[in-house]
């Protein structure tokens, strides 16, 4: 099987709100999200053979984190090119209250 770069990953706001609420309810006081800048994402996506992003769960200083890398159509990771972690954590960097975070 190979990765489809045009895979539909969309969900409704109601579904997304229910999923994020379930996480917040199960993990009170925990990090609820993070931010990756456009330049970091584009650096990964612009690599030759990259068809999308792959992520790995990680721990940084005792806090859950994500490591991003590119993925090739054959499902191999592009681990020797651009990688990203160091997301800006939410909290403390909070969005205005909305269905995804409140």
Q: Per-10-residue mean pLDDT for the chain, 102 residues long?
A: 87 93 92 88 95 92 89 94 82 80 85
* pLDDT for res 60: 86
Tokens, residue 84: 């990203």
Exposed/middle/buried for residue 53 (C-beta within 10 Å: 0-12, 13-18, 19+): middle
Residue 83: CB partners within 8 Å, gap ≥ 6?
44, 67, 68, 69
**Is residue 67 a contact partner of residue 36, using CB atoms and an 8 Å limit?**
no
Calpha distance 5→94 (Å, rounded): 31
* pLDDT for res 15: 94
* pLDDT for res 94: 77
Determine if the pTM surpasses 0.85: no
* pLDDT for res 74: 95
């Amino acid at each position: 099987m190979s990765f489809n770069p045009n895979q539909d990953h969309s969900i409704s706001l109601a579904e997304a709100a229910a999923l994020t609420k379930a996480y917040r309810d199960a993990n009170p006081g925990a990090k609820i999200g993070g931010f990756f800048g456009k330049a970091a994402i584009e650096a990964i996506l612009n690599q030759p053979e990259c068809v999308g992003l792959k992520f790995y769960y990680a721990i940084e200083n005792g806090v859950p984190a994500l490591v991003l890398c590119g993925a090739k159509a054959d499902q191999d990771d592009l681990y020797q090119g651009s990688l990203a972690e160091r997301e800006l954590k939410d909290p403390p960097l909070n969005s205005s209250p909305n269905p995804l975070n409140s």
